[in-house]
Structure 1
Amino acid sequence: MTVEVSRETQEKLERFASLLTQWNARINLVSPRDLVHLWSRHIEDSLQLASLVPQNARITDLGSGGGFPGLILAIATGLPVTLVESDQRKCAFLREAARECGATVQVVAKRIETVSLEPADVVTARALAPLERLLGWARPLLKPEGFCLFLKGAKASDELTEAQRDWHLSTEIFNSRTAEGGAIIKVCDFQRVTR
C-alpha cells in the first residue's frame, strides 16, 4: 500500500473492499475487469486525498458511485462526508458500506444539479466530468474559503486549459502516486468569467 494507514483503518478498508466485491456482482460499482486492481486503481487512488484534507473539515463528494473518493476519505480520516449520488442502488451500497465500516457519512440520493447543501470546506470528485463542469457544480456547495480536490487522468492539463476559458481560478497540481500521468487538481478562489 502506498498510503500508510492504521491497522484499524486497514481492516475497515478491507471490509469495504469485500463488500464492494460482493455488491459488484449485482450492481456495477466498478468495471468487473477493475476488481483485480481494486486497491491500486480505486482505494489507494482515493486515499491520496487524505493528506490534503484539513483536520475538522466537512467534505462533500460529488458522484460518489462506489464510494470513491468520498467513502474512502470518511473511513481513512474519520471526518464527516456528504456523498452525493443519484443512483439509488449505489446509494444503498454506500449506506451499507458506511454502516459496516463505521464511517460518518450522509448519503444524498439526488442529482448534483438539484442538490442544496450546507457549504463544505472541501468538495471532491473522481472520474465524474470535465473540470469546467465540476467547477459549476462545486461552486454553490463550497465555503468561500474552501477548496476542491479533483482526481484526474492523463488529460488533466487539457481540462485545466479548457476550464480557464470560463473560470478565474487558483490551482495547485499534485502528481498522482497511483496513476501514471494522472493528477490531483486542487482548486480554490474560483469564479466564473463574466463576459
Structure 2
Amino acid sequence: MTANEIGGLDVSRETFERLQTYEALIRKWNPAINLVAKSTLAELWSRHIEDSAQIGAYLAPEIRIWADFGSGGGLPGIVLAILALERSPDTAFHLVESDQRKATFLRQAAQTLGLKVQVHTQRVEVLAPLGADVVSARALASLRMLCGFAARHLAPTGFAIFPKGANFVDEVEDARQEWNFDLDERVSLTHSDARLLRVKSIHHV
C-alpha cells in the first residue's frame, strides 16, 4: 500500500484515489451548480481539498457522529468522510446543506465514493439537535453565529472545529461577547495567517 500525503496526513493509496475521484466530481458538476468559485477552480486541490483535509487530524475512532454545517460541495464534509474510512471507520457524518442542488451533489458524491454520510436539506438553526461529538463549518458564518449552531447540536462533551482566516482574533473577541468557551488554536497548513479553532464547553455569557 503506497502512502500519500495530504493536509499533513499520510493516507493510503485507496484514500488518495477517492479524493481524486471526488475532485473530478466537483469539476464535472461545478459549471452547473457552482460548488466552488470559478476563480478558485484552478487551485481546487490545494485551496479547497487539502485545506479541508487538514481537519482530518481531529478524526478519532471514538467519534460516533460528526456534523458539518453549510457543507456546500462537501468541503470539508465529504473530504473528512473519505479520510474517516481508514482513520475512524465507525464515524457517521451528517452534512447539513439547505441548497437543494448542492444537497443532491452531496448525496451523489457519497454514493459514488461509498461514504457513511447522511445529508440534511435544512437550515442548521431549525434542524433537530444532532448530539454530535464534533461539528465543523468552513466559510459559513461568523464565529459568534457558529458558536450558537454548535451549542445546539453538540453533545455535552463534544467540540467544534472552525477554520478561520487572518481576522480570527477579531472573530474570537466578538464571539466572547455572547459566548463562553474553551479555545485551542492550530496554525493552518495551507495559510500561515489562518487558524483551525477548536472550541468546546460553549455556553451563553
Q: Could you say which TM-score interval applies, normalised by the shorter chain?
A: over 0.9
The match for 1:172 among 156, 173, 184 is 184
**What are the equivalent positions in structure 2 for 1:75-90 lying under 5 Å apart?**
75-78=82-85, 79-90=91-102
Identical aligned residues as a percent: 44
Give the Cα–Cα distance (whole angstroms) in 1 for the partners of residues 44 and 131 of structure 2.
31
1:32-77, CA deviations, whole angstroms, 9 ceiling, x for partnerless residues?
Answer: 1111111111111111111112223110000000101111100111
Give the Cα–Cα distance (whole angstroms) in 2 for the partners of residues 161 and 12 of structure 1.
39
The aligned amino acid for 1:72 is: V
> 1:47 aligns to what?
53
After TM superposition, give the deviation of residue 108 of structure 1 in Å. Answer: 0.2
After TM superposition, give the deviation of residue 2 of structure 1 in Å. Answer: 4.1
Structure-1-length-normalised TM-score: 0.96
The match for 2:141 among 129, 147, 151 is 129
> 1:63 aligns to what?
70
Structure-2-length-normalised TM-score: 0.91
The match for 1:34 among 36, 40, 43 is 40
The match for 2:165 among 150, 153, 157 is 153
RMSD: 1.0
Give the Cα–Cα distance (whole angstroms) in 1 for the partners of residues 199 and 180 of structure 2.
10
The match for 2:156 among 135, 144, 152 is 144
Q: Report if aligned partners of 1:13, 1:101 keep a CA contact under 8 Å in 2.
A: no
The runs of at least 4 aligned residues of structure 1 exceeding 6 Å deviation read: none
Give the Cα–Cα distance (whole angstroms) in 1 for the partners of residues 62 and 21 of structure 2.
25
Count of matched residue positions in the alignment of Structure 1 and Structure 2: 193
Q: Report if aligned partners of 1:84, 1:108 keep a CA contact under 8 Å in 2.
A: yes
Q: Which runs of 5+ in 2 are unaligned?
A: 1-5, 86-90
